Structure 1
Amino acid sequence: MFGPAADAVLALVGTYGAVVLLGVFVLEGALVGKLIPTRTLFVAAVLAVGVDAVAFLPMLAAAVVGATIGQLLLFVSVRRFGVDPTTLAVIPGDGDRIEGADRWLDRWGLPAVAVSNALPGTRGWLAVPTASSAVSAPRFAAASLVGSTVYTSALLAVALGIGGAFDLVVGGALVPV
């Protein structure tokens, strides 16, 4: 429908899209990729592969697993190596953001990790104070996974909604004959 070039791009996304999303979400989870438009990339990748569950489930899994791996890498970097992400130029943010995350963790405990991962803008920031607490890496990873699943599922719903609306308009239901 779109021509050979577009068909080639869609084939590449279908073949390598999940791998690219995995890498992008690892960076986003580690706070390094906060400047990458992960939400837009995810929605575009889902739209490119189609709204068939067999096509988009690898994209969903790659985004959730990638974000969890990235946050776990940040968690381990802070806990084992004493990395302070606010001193790194590749991670946007400052001490105030870490202090706010610290207050969330103090007030609500480990569930705050899941909730913060479900919200755009706060994703990943609780990895730093959680690494300084007594929470184990597996418990942190589980909370991160839950929040990332909720977040990515919401993005999937947006993509499916856009795809459905596009199909409705282009499919002829709203286009006069």
Structure 2
Amino acid sequence: MTYAELRVLSKRVGIKLKQQSQVLVTAESCTGGGIATAITETAGSSAWFDRSFVTYSNEAKMEMIGVKSETLLMFGAVSEQTVQEMAGGALERSKGTCSIAVSGIAGPDGGSDEKPVGTVCFAWAMGGSIIKYETVVFNGNREEVRIQACFHALDKLEDILDGD
């Protein structure tokens, strides 16, 4: 997986968002704005992209996009419950009509037996509802995990836009 492949995917997703009159917002933790970067490398992306919330800390998740402290305490930042709240909160606090939320452990440290390095949780929301959420464990170093997470997030959004 390369950054060039990510840009190609991002451009395809952008075309579909524009065709469907959708506006994307992202809530990113472990990807650090990587999804937004890929999207905004396409000229004209302001037609289908509103903003990105880079919520790396738990405090940022709570303050910027309304993740509940109880959710973080009970399930942790890297959980399907947290990314669902991130996806919903990003929509509520933006002009977006669909959202992607990502939180994970890119490494090289921070993993556990339950959540090893490479564990990334995703959620996608559209029209005020969570459409899909899942956890994936990627292999590779920090950079490889992050780029795989960005690609996966946009690839699944493309599937959602295609009606899959």
Normalising by the smaller structure, the TM-score range is under 0.3
Q: Which has the larger radius of gyration?
A: 1
TM-score, length of structure 1 as denominator length: 0.24
TM-score, length of structure 2 as denominator length: 0.26
